[in-house]
Amino acid sequence: MPGGGLGTGVPRSALRTLTPREREVLSVLPSGEGNVAIARRLGIAERTVKAHLTSITRKLGLRSRVEAALLSAEWADELRADRADADRT
């Protein structure tokens, strides 16, 4: 897609608008797990997962968790690289 956009129409550069924890939450959405399971996996509260999802959808102009999961699947390589960089620091 021109301009580095994806099927969702969100440019890849939008990833930089998310905090590291928001990117981490976004990266696990394609697993299909619910908020409780994501919270356990990341060691955070379910309420925190919900807050991050709200922030992610707002910042990226998405309408739903499903759109966020689709975007995450499309951005898998970037999110994986981002997570690896965070693990090294």
Q: Phi and psi for 71 in degrees, rounded to 5?
A: -60, -45
pLDDT digits (tens, 9 = 90+) for 69-79: 999 999 888 88
CATH numbers and ranges of domains, the chain: 20-88 (1.10.10.10)
The DSSP 8-state label assigned to residue 75 in this structure reads T
Partners of residue 11 on adjacent β-strands = 5
Q: With cut-offs at 50, 70 and 90, classify the pLDDT of residue 84.
A: low
Q: Model confidence over 9-61: pLDDT tens digits?
A: 888 889 999 999 999 999 999 999 999 999 999 999 999 999 999 999 999 99
Dihedral sign computed on CA atoms, order 71, 76, 77, 79: positive
